[in-house]
Amino acid sequence: MTTLLIQTQSVPLTVNLPSIKSMTTEQFYEFCQANPDLRIERSASGEVIVMPPAFSDTGNRNFKIAVQLGSWAEQDGTGEAFDSSTGFTLPNGAIRSPDASWIKIERWNALTDKQKASFAPICPDFAIELRSQSDTLSGLQDKMREYIANGALLGWLIDRKNRKVYIYRLNQEVEILDDPETVSGNPELPGFVLRMEKIW
């Protein structure tokens, strides 16, 4: 059975489709192509998660994050940066779209062109999630733990509402920054500094 979880302002709305088996990766890809206006992810257990479009202010800040990460990545040259529309197939089978992400160039180049042209079977080395009005903090914290468990070296959860940044690293306690002016990517992303005045 395929289950759709539709994110709303307060709680996810669950729609069960009993006559449809859990979607394969290929079926999920076709579903996404048939619904290009939707933001869609898939959990490791096969739930299809339909999220509302980002509100304008969240989209603006997502863009500012992507610009800063992209500018650093271009200058640094050791990896590739991706925006919020990019889906990745994690080792646990989930298909996730971080708000911004980065992958070491040697890992990215190890993929085939066909893999790159779909939901690439790779977990980003670095992932950022920006909490929007419709996101629950606990849901995003689960997602950050999932990234780390699937191979990410570094993850940032930016909670604009409470002006906090949660920093996730493998085998380390979550670090919480209160109203920081900047957040450093060292040592995983040497020299990358996110200026928060553009994000709050």
Name the least confident of 52-56, 147-151, 170-174, 183-187: 52-56
pLDDT tens-place string over residues 107-164: 999 999 999 999 999 999 999 999 988 788 999 999 999 999 999 999 999 999 999 9
pTM (two decimals): 0.87
Phi, psi at 98, each rounded to 5°: -65, 160
β-pairing, 95-96 vs 88-89, is antiparallel
pLDDT tens-place string over residues 153-164: 999 999 999 999
Cβ neighbors of 46 (< 8 A, separation 6 or more) are 2, 3, 22, 23, 93
Can you point out the beta strands (E) in the chain? 2-6, 13-17, 39-42, 48-51, 79-82, 88-89, 95-96, 100-104, 126-130, 154-159, 164-169, 175-178, 182-184, 193-195
- Three-state SS at 57: helix
- Interval 162-181 mean pLDDT: 97
In the prediction, which pLDDT does 198 show?
Answer: 87
What's the mean pLDDT when you consider all of the chain?
90
CB atoms within 10 A of CB 141: 17
Please answer whether residues 182 and 195 qualify as being in contact, where contact means their C-beta atoms are separated by less than 8 angstroms.
Answer: yes
Residues paired with 75 in a beta bridge: none
